[in-house]
Structure 1
């Protein structure tokens, strides 16, 4: 007797499985290849119907025709290595970089021709293998060494508010980090050009507007981290804010600024293909940030962010820049020397990232991180030792000082002793008030468009106040 058989129930996530399989092959995949991968799951006719539906919904695209028809991801965005191309096109390596045996092994593998390297997609297991405060990318002896390097000798910083060290050297940090980080993206501004742009607002001749914008974006993002240490931290809001600052005016789609990506990306010069599905990006971004926030050691936390933010590629572009500034958050919070990336060679840095992307190995990037931090410490610990010891009254009332200066500017008043005295907050002790007034007057004497941002003042606000003050002086 012939028995009736029920049709096999299709998986609820069949379309998602198809998209994932297509995303894993950047060169496209045929119907036959897909059907082989989904053997026993779906019939060929049903697969063809689902593929047609996905093409119609613009979830996937096709190229070729007839037997040569292949499916691939639609509207693939340029990846986050595209700005410097492959590692072989980037600025030369640093001969002074001490590369470990493991780092040399990674170098040999990522320097092979692209066609000799095995294509890989995002491996969630790489993230899952890490347990905050149990796993360590930086061995304990190395972390001890980095703490000794990055901790200033100044005793007053032990009890100082978070961000004090970075604020003390902010002018130097703005120039160094903006220049070095931009240079790693192929920016051709010199350090002197960068200094003129940041200090005086003078764009370098012969440079493109995008290069100028990239430098200014770094400046704004660094000031945000250093000035707003109470709110800036290893959290979702700060990482997304960094992307908003760093990508401002540089994204082909302005709506992608400060947003997690909703479309696929490729990595130029690499065989690594990041996750394409927006919901998975959203989920894993949350996991990465939460795991990073749990890490207690600031150096391990810093390096974790340098590894896993670029690996996930949560944004359409500017991921590497976000990770470099995010790596500074724990260092700023703990009053350690910041990481400026001065003297980091582009080829070294990209090869270190390729080791993470394609091999899930961190040793080469770790070698680069340690070398970069040693160079930063040589700069900033020495710089701070040359500074005049911080004024106790300035340190105690830095918030009140900033607020009062902004209030005077926005009200259009003149910075005269009587005006300042009338606006002194009650929080300023009587015995500190004369010194507080003197500090306010000192700040106004050195106030200019380049540093008005320190007080939360926009350029137009400062310009309007200066014009009114000049007009008052002329009468």
Structure 2
């Protein structure tokens, strides 16, 4: 490809990613090559002359805008939009842009142009300057998600932990084709009972979600937009699902394809690592938690940084900024699998976020309403337990894992309490003992112990 053609292609991509228009200085800031503003202006003028973009304003007010075309797939004679199989799909309001996107991406794959990874899609995004969500959309989401909790990160998610484990594990797995029912999922997570009529892979997928959700909730104060968090998140979600035992938690070093898509992901390991770090860097710079959430849902699957489970990583990662801010989580309740899949296809093939954004906005509204009802029955948290929650959790974990009887446990609790201020010791001992008495098969997961550890400990504890 000649240099001028390469420059023109990148300039067109930059303009197309700014439907509201972009001025020449912002174009230059997003442009990855080294060239003069005058040269860029000449190329942009050519794009305008051939009908690829339009130019509005004059002098310093000049803006470059994409041409919005009514795109329709060739030789499609059925309904104007794809007929979705999920019964709730008709209840999801789509924007005009989302409808147009759905129409385009519903064309037979033979009619869709093969494309590769477009680096400018990520590189041109400027945190807190560009935004996939409008100001009104962010305000609406903030009003929906507000829990009124101004306490340590993860406090709200801890309050609804059992419900969140089931909802998010089930819905995220369902979006991958998992056939467990909601009740099957509840029995598996709370009682450890797998459905023998279904595959072990499906049970493993759900249990992996449970581990990953516990990780992002329990470590909400420490985790961030860094390799440690995201590699470990992948390792938990991919555990026991890949033939290569070293693949969980490792960036992809092989080429992959996307079933049913004309998109071919990036295949150069060095660039995969570079853009993975850039995604995390830009996500960390975004101030609005909802924009952070949606940005991760868009760019992690688009890069496909891992061999497998990329969309699962993105869905749980989308909850990190929400959980850290004590906002209502996003559990993807009732999201139609086919509509979500087409939203992702539009990102892959068109770098078009409109359909996926419609799904995201509807899904958050649905999730927030559900957890608002749940929270009405939840009392205020015990502030003392909140203050010492990590110490309490660590002691209980130790008691269970070492299969400690009640007498030895009492001694350990008393010894540990001696490390705290005198005025807090008795209340600390009471808090730990109360927690121990309340542990049962449905809530021991929060202490990060296995089912086997819990069963063995129960035998000793009840003696």
TM range (shorter): 0.7 to 0.9
1:459 to 437, 441, 451: 451
State the partner residue of 1:367: 358
Residues 159-198 of structure 1: pairs in structure 2 closer than 5 A: 160-198=151-189
Work out the CA distance in 2 between the residues paired with 1:292 and 1:430: 44
Matched, 1:386 2:377: yes
Q: Secondary structure at the match of 2:348?
A: helix
Contact 1:409/1:461, CA 8 A, preserved across alignment? yes
CA drift of 1:419 comes to 2.7
Check 1:461–1:206 CA distance in 2 against 1; reply closer, same or farther (3 A cut): closer
Work out the CA distance in 1 between the residues paired with 2:86 and 2:308: 20
Work out the CA distance in 2 between the residues paired with 1:457 and 1:286: 32
Check 1:398–1:280 CA distance in 2 against 1; reply closer, same or farther (3 A cut): same
CA drift of 1:396 comes to 1.5
Give CA deviations for 1:81-112 in whole Å, capped at 9, x if unaligned: xxxxxx98975661111100000110010000
Contact 1:404/1:423, CA 8 A, preserved across alignment? no
Work out the CA distance in 1 between the residues paired with 2:84 and 2:366: 24
Contact 2:395/2:413, CA 8 A, preserved across alignment? no
Q: Secondary structure at the match of 2:178?
A: coil
State the partner residue of 2:113: 118
CA drift of 1:257 comes to 1.5
State the partner residue of 1:19: none
Contact 1:224/1:232, CA 8 A, preserved across alignment? no
CA drift of 1:446 comes to 2.5
Contact 2:406/2:461, CA 8 A, preserved across alignment? no
Contact 1:93/1:347, CA 8 A, preserved across alignment? no
State the partner residue of 1:306: 297
Give the number of aligned pairs. 381
Contact 2:414/2:429, CA 8 A, preserved across alignment? no
Check 1:335–1:187 CA distance in 2 against 1; reply closer, same or farther (3 A cut): same
Contact 2:294/2:318, CA 8 A, preserved across alignment? yes
Please tell me whether Structure 1 or Structure 2 has the larger radius of gyration of its CA atoms: 1
Give CA deviations for 1:26-74 in whole Å, capped at 9, x if unaligned: xxxxxxxxxxxxxxxxxxxxxxxxxxxxxxxxxxxxxxxxxxxxxxxxx
Q: Secondary structure at the match of 2:392?
A: helix
Q: Secondary structure at the match of 1:223?
A: helix
1:246 to 237, 241, 251: 237
Matched, 1:469 2:461: yes
Work out the CA distance in 2 between the residues paired with 1:385 and 1:233: 30
Work out the CA distance in 2 between the residues paired with 1:326 and 1:333: 11
Q: Which moved more, 1:103-112 or 1:414-423?
A: 414-423
Q: Secondary structure at the match of 1:256?
A: coil
TM score, norm. by length of structure 2: 0.78
Residues 10-89 of structure 1: pairs in structure 2 closer than 5 A: none
Contact 2:403/2:453, CA 8 A, preserved across alignment? no
Work out the CA distance in 2 between the residues paired with 1:411 and 1:347: 47
Check 1:406–1:315 CA distance in 2 against 1; reply closer, same or farther (3 A cut): same
CA RMSD across the alignment = 2.0
Matched, 1:340 2:331: yes
Q: Which has the higher contact order (CA 8 A, sep 6+)?
A: 1
Q: Where in structure 2 are there 5+ consecutive unaligned residues?
A: 1-81
TM score, norm. by length of structure 1: 0.76
Q: Where in structure 1 are there 5+ consecutive unaligned residues?
A: 1-86
Check 1:241–1:349 CA distance in 2 against 1; reply closer, same or farther (3 A cut): same
Q: Secondary structure at the match of 1:194?
A: helix
Contact 1:97/1:368, CA 8 A, preserved across alignment? yes
Contact 1:92/1:347, CA 8 A, preserved across alignment? no
CA drift of 1:402 comes to 1.1
Residues 262-411 of structure 1: pairs in structure 2 closer than 5 A: 262-411=253-402
Q: Which moved more, 1:195-204 or 1:279-288?
A: 279-288
Contact 1:244/1:257, CA 8 A, preserved across alignment? yes
State the partner residue of 2:56: none
State the partner residue of 1:102: 97
Matched, 1:146 2:137: no
